[in-house]
Amino acid sequence: MTTIHTLGFPRMGAQRELKFALERHWRGEIDAAALEAVGRELRARHWQLQRDAGLDFVTVGDFAFYDHVANHVQLLGCEPARFGFAGDEPALARYFTLARGVASETGAAGSGRPALEMTKWFDTNYHYLVPEFTPETAFSLAEERLFAEVDEALALGHRVKAVLLGPLSFLWLGKEKSAGFARIELLERLLPVYQQILVRLKAQGVDWVQIDEPILGLDLPPAWRQAFEPAYSGLAKSGVSLLLATYFSPLQENLALACRLPVHGLHIDGIRAAQEVAAIADWLPVHKVLSLGILDGRNIWRADLDAALKLLRAVREVRQCDLWLAPSCSLLHVPFSVAGESGLDAELRSWLAFAVEKLAELRVLKLALAGDGAADAALAESRQAIQSRRASQRVTDARVSARLAALPADADRRPSPFPARQAAQRARFGLPLLPTTSIGSFPQTAEIRSARAAFKRGQLAATDYQRAMEKEIAHVVAVQEELGIDVLVHGEPERNDMVEYFGEQLAGFCFTANGWVQSYGSRCVKPPIIYGDVSRPQAMTVSWTTHAQSLTEKPMKGMLTGPITILQWSFVRDDQPRSTTAEQIALAIRDEVVDLERAGIGIIQIDEPAIREGLPLRREAWRDYLAWATRAFRLSASGVGDATQIHTHMCYSEFNDILPEIAAMDADVITIETSRSDMELLHAFGEFKYPNEIGPGVYDIHSPRVPSREEMVCLLQKALETIPAGNLWVNPDCGLKTRAWPETLAALRNMVAAAKTLRLTA
Ligand code: GLN
Ligand code: ZN
């Protein structure tokens, strides 16, 4: 017997219904009851899809109006005291306050109630809200939502598997808000509440609870590892069957522990932990259920069902007992359905499987394992699609592989070391001490957005569009000249998104119409799909950049997105290593860099905000990743002469532990987000003696607040304690595209004034 299920399903709805309802609710256009009705409707639809696909359970508890970790903050009764909720505030209103904060009435710093911090969910592009813990944090079963959803599903006649984030992962994902205490100490207080929840679910008629402990795939400190057995021994007493779910990463040293825990079943990620399947099939006692995450929940490719069946038959051979099948992780990380992607041709479409299609693949696997001929047609179709993708001329481009194979060993090295380049660049540009610049984008006004949209829809002629963008560029150039900025940018008005803009012009990429994935709250992203060898048919930015340069005597900085960021924010091929795809993108960007140089652009920025987030979950895999990631960056940057200045930019990240690798990127100038950390981030750069030039952001672009000249002088003085004046640049934290013009002008004016003040003394 095979049981099929999913760890979770996308929440937004086929047409992002949840997003639009949430935003209407936040604007005050629909009340809580109307929003709840939309949620109920979506859950009902998504459960029905699971049932129609023949899943043996529907999964309940994966839905959230903002984020599932925030749901647990309420379920477990640990809303932080700092929010000061009054007893009569409705749960949903409190929930949105946790998620979105409350602006202060006066606008003064320190007032208002800032939202829970948000951070990336493991190595995905989903962001969760970070629970806050203090020694006083207490827990209680405080919220009925989960139980109500279970009742909803039962009333619709479904067989229910409930899902909870496990107690250890919940604590791990949170943050201590006071010194001298470790959040693991709260476990003892937390477990009785989990126990109560499980007992309640059992009483509702739920037999199986999936309890997610993805942290079993991380490098855990001993205290955390040791906490699992006692915790789960306690939870085993609830009477409900627990399926312990792990995903995203191999279990490695936690493998024996995971197999041993007193639970009724174990789910493993058969994609990311493929190398452990055989061992677990062998070691997991046969009285426990093995749930194999056999379909890739992190990617959009149709599965090779023959290969999957071969593996599954081998596992069945070893275990001689029931097997559960599921996607590797929750389907939260893939778009809803391929149906309706009529913009993609039939061949490309046949290669894809989003959430709905993955459910269908599970059913085919189940039927095929049972020897049911009903699977034959679907298997044949799947086989056909796999073969078509493997053999397709669109996937492989012999010129790309030949070029990679023929790369000289020093292709990722600039002709001279940094000091020689610095001298050549100083002689060429003659910039003042503490040169000022910005990160690339300027305010994207409604006018710009609508011109771009009209052009895309074919309602604005190419020449009119070009004229509109050139007008904007001229404005941005004039503004920067008037402000007295030293290195100008063209403002990026022609770009909707820093990855999409390049993906649309590169071979090997395609775009869906509706392939949205939740990023956080109501925010969704539509990642490009890299399906084939990547190359650059023609220049992508040269004409905009040279046009901008023609308007000014000052250096105009060319603006590109780096290979790792493009890779990281796309769905990528699963038929070659990520490093190979990164290399291909790097060469395409390199072509652009070289063309910009040839067209007379002397300063070129290659943005890599996603380098840090690409780090593998396991530390032992960092070195390998950083080696190929930094090499890809250097490949993209190294086709130019000494006098061409390469910049890179990264948003807020911890750099401390990867500084040697950041330095190994060997950009002439790096600009980083630092103002929110009060320049603290820079200490590491100073201690490490970071060799090249650096522009720590002097003001936060996430808020409309205009920093004063004095404030920025202060920050720069702090920076000068660690960075030699000759290596220091002055710039905002990040691009300005989400800001409005008035605050942008005021802030940049103060920034230039701050640089000028310091030039007199530094
Ligand atoms: N050049 C981009 C911009 O200014 C950089 C964006 C980013 O770092 N995320 O918008
Ligand atoms: Zn940035």
Beta bridge partners of 128: 119
The tens digit of pLDDT for each residue in 661-686 reads 999 999 999 999 988 788 888 889 99
Among the bound ligands, name the one nearest to the CA of residue 440: 1
Residues 6+ apart with CB under 8 A from 282: 318
**ipTM tops 0.95:** yes
Nearest-CA neighbor of 518 among 132, 149, 120, 163? Answer: 120
Residue 104 pLDDT greater than 80, yes or no: no
Which residue has the CA at smallest separation from atom 9 of ligand 1?
Answer: 609
What contacts 24+ positions apart, CB below 8 Å, involve 610-614? 610/564, 610/565, 610/567, 610/568, 610/569, 611/562, 611/564, 611/565, 611/650, 611/653, 611/662, 612/650, 612/653, 612/654, 612/655, 612/658, 613/120, 613/123, 613/568, 613/653, 614/123, 614/564, 614/567, 614/568
When pLDDT is averaged across residues 729-749 and rounded to a whole number, the result is: 97
349 assigned binding-site residue: no
Q: Which positions are catalytic?
A: 702
User: What angle (nearest 5°) sits at the alpha carbon of residue 415, between those of residues 410 and 416?
Assistant: 120
The tens digit of pLDDT for each residue in 451-489 reads 999 999 999 999 999 999 999 999 999 999 999 999 999
649 C-beta closer than 6 A to ligand 1? yes
**Pocket test residue of 125, 437, 441 for ligand 1, highest count of atoms within 8 A of CB:** 441
Q: Let me know: does 112 contact 102? Beta carbons within 8 Å.
A: yes
pLDDT of 744:
98
Can you tell me the distance from the alpha carbon of 705 to that of 330, in angstroms, rounded to the nearest whole number? Answer: 39
How many helices, marked H, and strands, marked E, lie in the chain?
Answer: 27, 21
- Interval between CA 16 and ligand 2 midpoint (Å): 27
Q: Let me know: does 684 contact 666? Beta carbons within 8 Å.
A: no
Which residue has the CA at smallest separation from atom 5 of ligand 1?
Answer: 735
515 assigned binding-site residue: no
pLDDT of 439:
98
Which atom in ligand 1 lies closest to the alpha carbon of residue 650? 8
**Pocket test residue of 439, 487, 561, 650 for ligand 1, highest count of atoms within 8 A of CB:** 439
Can you tell me the distance from the alpha carbon of 103 to that of 114, in angstroms, rounded to the nearest whole number? Answer: 7
Which residue has the CA at smallest separation from atom 1 of ligand 1?
Answer: 440
DSSP 200: H
Residue 295 CB coordination number (10 Å):
28
R_g (Cα) of the chain, nearest Å: 27
Q: How far is CA 361 from CA 59, 353, 390, in A?
A: 17, 9, 19
Which atom in ligand 1 lies closest to the alpha carbon of residue 649? 8
Confidence of residue 109 (pLDDT cuts 50, 70, 90): low
Question: How many residues does the structure list for the chain?
Answer: 762
- Interval between CA 563 and ligand 1 midpoint (Å): 14
524 assigned binding-site residue: yes
Q: How much of the chain exceeds pLDDT 70, in percent? A: 99
Q: Let me know: does 316 contact 110? Beta carbons within 8 Å.
A: no
Fold classification of 416-759 (topology level): TIM Barrel (3.20.20)
When pLDDT is averaged across residues 333-349 and rounded to a whole number, the result is: 96
Can you tell me the distance from the alpha carbon of 706 to that of 291, in angstroms, rounded to the nearest whole number? Answer: 54
When pLDDT is averaged across residues 691-718 and rounded to a whole number, the result is: 95
492 assigned binding-site residue: yes
- Interval between CA 11 and ligand 1 midpoint (Å): 29
The tens digit of pLDDT for each residue in 17-33 reads 999 999 999 999 999 99
Confidence of residue 580 (pLDDT cuts 50, 70, 90): very high
Among the bound ligands, name the one nearest to the CA of residue 735: 1
Inter-axis angle of helices 376-391 and 305-319, to 10 degrees?
A: 120
439 assigned binding-site residue: yes
When pLDDT is averaged across residues 242-246 and rounded to a whole number, the result is: 98
SS3 165: strand
559 C-beta closer than 6 A to ligand 1? yes
Burial class (CB in 10 A: 0-12, 13-18, 19+), 275: exposed
Nearest-CA neighbor of 491 among 506, 505, 480? Answer: 480
**Pocket test residue of 489, 490, 498, 561 for ligand 1, highest count of atoms within 8 A of CB:** 498
- Interval between CA 505 and ligand 1 midpoint (Å): 18
Residues 6+ apart with CB under 8 A from 320: 286
735 C-beta closer than 6 A to ligand 1? yes
DSSP letters spanning 406-430 = T--TTTTS-SS-HHHHHHHHHHHH-
The tens digit of pLDDT for each residue in 529-577 reads 999 999 999 999 999 999 999 999 999 999 999 999 999 999 999 999 9
**DSSP β-ladder status, 645-650 and 603-607:** parallel
679 C-beta closer than 6 A to ligand 1? no
Which atom in ligand 1 lies closest to the alpha carbon of residue 605? 1
Can you tell me the distance from the alpha carbon of 24 to that of 18, in angstroms, rounded to the nearest whole number? Answer: 10
The tens digit of pLDDT for each residue in 130-176 reads 999 999 999 999 999 999 999 999 999 999 999 999 999 999 999 99
Residue 106 pLDDT greater than 70, yes or no: no
pLDDT of 431:
98
pLDDT of 135:
97
18 assigned binding-site residue: yes
DSSP letters spanning 276-319 = GHHHHHHHS-TTSEEEEEEE-TTS-BPP-HHHHHHHHHHHHHHH
Among the bound ligands, name the one nearest to the CA of residue 439: 1
pLDDT of 702:
86
**Pocket test residue of 489, 490, 607 for ligand 1, highest count of atoms within 8 A of CB:** 607
As a whole number, the mean pLDDT across the chain is: 96
Confidence of residue 110 (pLDDT cuts 50, 70, 90): low
441 assigned binding-site residue: yes
pLDDT of 656:
86
Q: Which of 112-121, 250-259, 635-644 has the lowest mean pLDDT?
A: 112-121
321 assigned binding-site residue: no
Nearest-CA neighbor of 251 among 287, 275, 228, 232? Answer: 275
DSSP 696: E
Dihedral over Cα of 576, 582, 583, 589: its sign = positive
Q: Residue 307 has which token pair?
A: 């290969």
Residue 331 pLDDT greater than 90, yes or no: yes
3-state secondary structure 722-750: HCCHHHECEECCCCCCCCCHHHHHHHHHH
- Interval between CA 651 and ligand 1 midpoint (Å): 8
The tens digit of pLDDT for each residue in 396-438 reads 999 999 999 999 999 999 999 999 999 999 999 999 999 999 9
When pLDDT is averaged across residues 178-199 and rounded to a whole number, the result is: 97
604 C-beta closer than 6 A to ligand 1? no
246 C-beta closer than 6 A to ligand 1? no
Burial class (CB in 10 A: 0-12, 13-18, 19+), 595: buried
Amino acid at site 122: F
The tens digit of pLDDT for each residue in 38-86 reads 999 999 999 999 999 999 999 999 999 999 999 999 999 999 999 999 8
pLDDT of 677:
81
Nearest-CA neighbor of 159 among 320, 261, 51, 33? Answer: 51
Which residue has the CA at smallest separation from atom 10 of ligand 1?
Answer: 735
pLDDT of 680:
84
609 C-beta closer than 6 A to ligand 1? yes
The tens digit of pLDDT for each residue in 589-605 reads 999 999 999 999 999 99
Q: Is 101 left (phi over 0), alpha (psi -120 to 50) or beta?
A: left
DSSP 491: B
Q: How far is CA 353 from CA 4, 335, 341, 427, 643, in A?
A: 17, 9, 12, 55, 48
Q: Residue 637 has which token pair?
A: 């940057």
The structure tokens 């992607």 sit at: 341
